[in-house]
Amino acid sequence: MIQEKIKDLLEKNILHEDQTQKLQAIYSGNLVSVYYELRLILYLGVILLTAGVGIIIYLNIGSIGHILSILGLFVATLACFVFAFLIGKPFSESKVEHTLPYLDYIVLLGALLLVAALSYVQFQFELLNNYLGVSSLFSAIIFFFIAYRFDHIGVLSLGITALAAFFGISTSPVAWHSYDFFTTAPLVNVSIVFGLALIALAFFLNKYEIKSHFTFTYYHFGLLLIFIASLSGLFSKDNEVIYTLVVYAGVVLGIYLSRQTNSMLLLVYAVLTAYVVTTYWISELDWNNEIWYLYFMLSCGGLVYFIISARKFFKRKA
């Protein structure tokens, strides 16, 4: 069917012969893109290389020495960024397409090596025990600068995480598993405000077309913080009504942002969060097991149907 349409476009002189051959190769399956697979392999390579450097230093610390290890990390970090400054294109408010396809990975490697070097210094010499917040803020500033200078979304994520750490917001999976993501009510409120600030910042930067392709990353982190923090506040049984209102307000915001960015992921976050909160309040009712079974069967089925329908809707818009 598609092949016939391509031939029809060629006969009407809408497509050229070379364009027709490329399209036929793609839709026949003879030509397959491995772009995302190669990027994934490269990212995994950078992470494994960074981990390997740490393991080598750990196993040979007696022969290498702490000072030499730290100097080696900083020299490698400096080499990555010097190379990026020399080869990379100048800063631009719009998206930058680098001439070298692997420059992104060199920048990411430099950022990860910088994290390793700073962590090593702190672990070995404990210079910043009383100023860990300042250290996190310093790291965040560096990461934001690198992200905007070299147009790197991955480093931007590191910057947002470091800035969250400055405000005392833990993002450790261990803390999630132990139900200790937020330890105090004030930290829950700080997390909600921080999430809203990220979304507001993204909205402002997008309005003035400053790195508009970074907008989704800000929205992603902001919504997750709002949802997780408000759910944590709700489940702590303190001010349940207030945090419920915050959750539903976040759901409305998430639906709006999903339509604005054409992102199904943000919509899924919002719908799942609304489902969790609604189920939480329904669980407060004294229902028998048969009604609970019926509720879960119908609600889960409706949730799956909604996600499938939403997926089709976003595919049409794309």
pLDDT digits (tens, 9 = 90+) for 20-41: 666 555 555 554 555 555 566 6
| 221 close to 157: Cβ distance less than 8 angstroms | yes
Phi first, then psi: what are they for 272, rounded to 5°? -65, -40
The pLDDT value recorded for residue 15 is 58
The mean per-residue pLDDT over the stretch 37-47 comes to 62
The pLDDT value recorded for residue 59 is 63
**pLDDT of residue 281 exceeding 50:** yes
The pLDDT value recorded for residue 178 is 45
The pLDDT value recorded for residue 291 is 77
**pLDDT of residue 103 exceeding 60:** yes
Question: Residue type at 32?
Answer: V
Nearest CA among 141, 82, 138 for reference residue 109 = 82
Q: Is the CA virtual torsion 183, 186, 189, 193 positive or negative?
A: negative
Among 116-130, 186-200, 273-287, the range with the most confident prediction by mean pLDDT is: 186-200
The pLDDT value recorded for residue 204 is 95
Tally Cβ neighbours within 10 Å of residue 161. Answer: 17
